Chain A
């Protein structure tokens, strides 16, 4: 697969923070291939949002600072591409939906980006319906945006970006205000966009449990450095990796790990509740009792 995002030896510091110890990003190199579903996690202040801002061109175009290294989107250096051009390739959903929503109604919010791309009215109509349907918020179409709940607003921001049909979707903590099922629904939407529309997805998320279940690859940042770039399975199977970074493995993985240490769990460590159930039924005899 060809890389859609290439980052080479990227370091960045915000104005006023110039020594290495306070770099927001420190010597990051990675590539994201078309069609990948990548999660970014790490403690507060790790540089997760800064990395996202470097991908969508807000850094260097709108945020000053000391920028070293290269970021290429579809092989074009972000320094030589305008944010407007980048926005056609990368759709961004930010942490705070209130900072992103500009229009009085949901429908107008979705139309805003499309109108700015000079898309014909009939096509705008089609794309709004399609995006609302895809995100599961068709019923909110005529609602006023300031009457929506935090979770609804977040889904509206995602729909507005999806309507632009970007090739890459970057989301910075899109579920921070959502209830558990709302969170799962957003990740189901991302999975669908990734699998059916072949959208490349990069999502910053604090909830490790849900990342383990959905993403194909996990980048872990700490103090501006990339400390792990592996599949969720490799991460869960590497003892104490998450704990050493101040994160926590999913409870079902922890349980299986303890049972395994006690010689009672015979399978590979699980990432999800379903995998843990399978692993436990294989490891313990009570499942066999039922099968007999």
Chain B
């Protein structure tokens, strides 16, 4: 559980990036954090493992106050996947990279080996354990970074733009892995600019603008408030945009976000009014 109370944060230069933010994320949540470039998303994520600490206010991770906890201690609770895997990978082979965290927890060799094997299998890297990460593709390096976070078995998983630099399929594969972890009980907080991904995976969306929370609601409610999204340089996924164009029509739509949901909406309409379709 993450509990953020009246959090404000200023960088040493005096720039205030987060301004009086409060929210709670219960265990098992799947939350997308969205907002324009410079809204404070990454700064907020970094509060969760005390890479940054509140200027005022409080952040509690599983009851631990981040202002007194070390990043090392929080690393057991919060796994952090950075935007650029190359900022996080530093060992000469995949196995040692994934095993680095668990080894530093002081786990036994057998336990480390087990965790590495499981994490590598979960992201499809088993055949690459002896490879140097440098010689893998960017998508594969992202998986190495991801596996090294998984091997820590963190209760909370924080992902900063996990699909940037990935192609469409790789992006979906990463999100499917994240979804699976969520189903196993892990709390997920992820940042992305891809609204189609948010609509597809997140159960709750927190919209950030200039260090403040604009919206904190379900995908369906958030993406049907285009004026507020626009304030923070976002627009809804295509399907929501399309349906919003029908707002002035004498026609009742729900709040579809996926192709399938929208299809059902149109289908319903034709079924209730059998004579409406022209040919």
Contact = CB atoms under 8 A, between A and B. Distances in A.
Interface in A238-287: 246-248, 250-252, 254-255, 258-259, 262-264, 266, 273-274, 276-277, 280, 283-287
A259 B269 CA distance: 12
Contacts of A252: 238-239, 242
Contact of B277 (A181, A254, A258, A264): A264
A182 B267 contact: no
Contacts of A180: 193, 195, 233-235
Contacts of B139: 44-45
A209 interface: yes
A285 B196 contact: no
Q: How large is the interface on B (under 10, 10 to 19, 20 to 34, 35 or more residues)?
A: 35 or more
Interface of A: 42-45, 149-152, 176-183, 206, 208-209, 246-248, 250-252, 254-255, 258-259, 262-264, 266, 273-274, 276-277, 280, 283-287, 289-290
A180 B226 CA distance: 13
A182 B245 CA distance: 22
A258 B263 contact: yes
Interface of B: 35-38, 137-139, 161, 164-170, 193, 195-196, 230, 232-235, 237-239, 241-242, 245-246, 248-251, 258-259, 262-263, 266-267, 269-270, 273, 275-279
Contacts of B36: 179, 181-182
A263 B233 contact: no
A149 B170 CA distance: 25
A276 B243 CA distance: 10
14 contacts: A42-B167, A43-B169, A44-B138, A45-B139, A149-B38, A177-B161, A179-B193, A180-B234, A183-B193, A255-B239, A264-B266, A264-B267, A280-B242, A285-B273
A286 B169 contact: no
- The winner among B161, B266, B273 for most chain A CB atoms within 10 A is B266
B233 A286 contact: no
A290 B279 CA distance: 19
Contact of A283 (B193, B234, B238, B278): B278
Nearest to B273: A285
B125 to A, nearest CB: 16
**5 A-B pairs with least C-beta separation:** A285-B276, A151-B37, A181-B233, A149-B38, A149-B37
Contacts of A262: 267
Contacts of B37: 149-152, 177-179, 182
Contacts of B35: 179
A264 B270 contact: yes
B263 A259 contact: yes
A274 B241 CA distance: 9
A251 B259 contact: yes
B250 A286 contact: yes
A273 B166 CA distance: 25
A284 to B, nearest CB: 6
A207 to B, nearest CB: 8
Given A255-B239, A286-B251, 19 more contacts: A43-B170, A44-B167, A44-B170, A150-B37, A177-B164, A180-B195, A181-B36, A208-B168, A251-B262, A262-B267, A263-B277, A266-B278, A273-B241, A280-B266, A284-B266, A284-B270, A284-B276, A285-B276, A290-B248
